[in-house]
A and B are shown apart, each in its own frame.
Chain A
Amino acid sequence: MNLAVKWKITRIMLTSVYLFAGWMLFTGSLNPFSMVMGLFFSILTALLTYSLFIDEKEAERRGLVFNIHILVFYLLFLLFKMYASSFAVLYNVIRGNINPRVVHFRTRLKSDIARVILTNSITLTPGTITLSLDDDHLIVHWLEAKTTHSRYAGELIKGKMEKILKRIFV
C-alpha cells in the first residue's frame, strides 16, 4: 500500500468523522437507528466529496486535526473583540469622523485553513475588511487607520488573533 492510497483513506475517514459530528449536533438524539443512518450517510457523502473537503496537497501536521480547546477560547475572544470594535465603529458613525485607508501586510501563518480563518476574523471584526488574500499577503481596508506602516498596521489589526491561531494550527 503506497502513500497516496493511505492519504486517500485518511481523507475519507476524516471527512466522515467531521460529517458525523455535524449529524450528531443537528439531530441531538442517541437513538441507535438514527446514529446508524447518520454513519452510513456520512461515509457515503465522504466517499463522494472527500476531494472537495480536504485538498490533496493539504497535509500539514496540525492542519486538519487541531487543538479544539484553544479554538473555543479563540471564538470567545473573537466575540469579545467584535463587540469592542463594534462600539468604536458606532462612535465613528455618530461623529461622522472617519479616516479610511488601505493597508498591506503579511502573515506568518503556514497552513491554508489558518490563513482563511485569520482573513475571516479580520473581516468579521467591524472596522476592517479584507480585500484580497494572495498566498501570505493581505490587503485590508481599515476604517479608522492609525498608521499605514505595514508592520505596525499588521500588528494592530491581526496582533493577538494570529498568536492564538498559531497555537491552534501548530
Chain B
Amino acid sequence: MTEWIVFAFLILGAVFNLMGLLGVLIFPDPYTRLQASSTCSTTSVMSVFIAAMIDSGISAVTGKILVITLFFFISSPVSAHIIALYAWKNEIIPWRRKGGQE
C-alpha cells in the first residue's frame, strides 16, 4: 500500500515537471514563463520530497528531509521573487491578452 502512494507522488512530480517545462516553452513573456517554471520547481520537488518521506517511514532520515523541505519552502519563492523583481525594476511590460477585461 505504501509503495503505491510513493509511486503516485513520484508520477505526480514527473507530470508537474513536464508541464512546467511545456509552459516555459509555450508562454509569451518573462513573467508567465516564471510562473510556469516556479510551478514546476515547487510542486514537483515537493511531491518528490513527500514520496521520500513516506518511503523512509518514521526515522531520523524523515526529520532531515523535513528540514530540507522547510529550507525549500523558504528558498524557492525567494529566487522566483528576485527574478520577477529584477524584471519589474527593468520595466519589462507584462504581456496581456487581447480583448480581455479592462
Contacts from B to A (Cβ < 8 Å): 15-16, 19-20, 22-23, 26-27, 31-32, 34-36, 38-39, 42-43, 46, 60, 63-64, 67, 73-74, 76-78, 80-81, 84-85, 87-88, 94-97, 100-101
Whether A141 contacts B84 by the Cβ 8 Å rule is: yes
Assuming the contacts A120-B78, A141-B31, asked whether A126 and B95 have C-beta atoms less than 8 A apart, the reply is no
Whether B81 contacts A129 by the Cβ 8 Å rule is: yes
Contacts from A to B (Cβ < 8 Å): 22, 25-26, 28, 75, 78-79, 82-83, 86, 89-90, 93-94, 96, 98-102, 119-121, 123-124, 126-127, 129-132, 139, 141, 143, 148
Whether B31 contacts A123 by the Cβ 8 Å rule is: no
Cα distance A89–B87 in the bound complex, in angstroms: 22
From B22, B23, B35, B67, give the contact of A129 (CB < 8 A). B35
Q: Which residue of B lies closest to A28 (CB)?
A: B60
Whether A98 contacts B84 by the Cβ 8 Å rule is: no
Smallest CB–CB gap between B45 and chain A, Å?
Answer: 11
Smallest CB–CB gap between A31 and chain B, Å?
Answer: 13
Question: For residue A143, which residues in chain B have a CB less than 8 angstroms away from its CB?
Answer: 32, 35
Whether B43 contacts A98 by the Cβ 8 Å rule is: no
Whether B32 contacts A98 by the Cβ 8 Å rule is: yes
A-B contact pairs, 5 of them (CB 8 A): A93-B20, A93-B26, A101-B94, A129-B35, A132-B88
Cα distance A95–B19 in the bound complex, in angstroms: 12
Question: For residue B31, which residues in chain A have a CB less than 8 angstroms away from its CB?
Answer: 100, 129, 141
Whether A98 contacts B97 by the Cβ 8 Å rule is: yes
Smallest CB–CB gap between B2 and chain A, Å?
Answer: 19
Cα distance A130–B35 in the bound complex, in angstroms: 11
Whether B34 contacts A124 by the Cβ 8 Å rule is: no
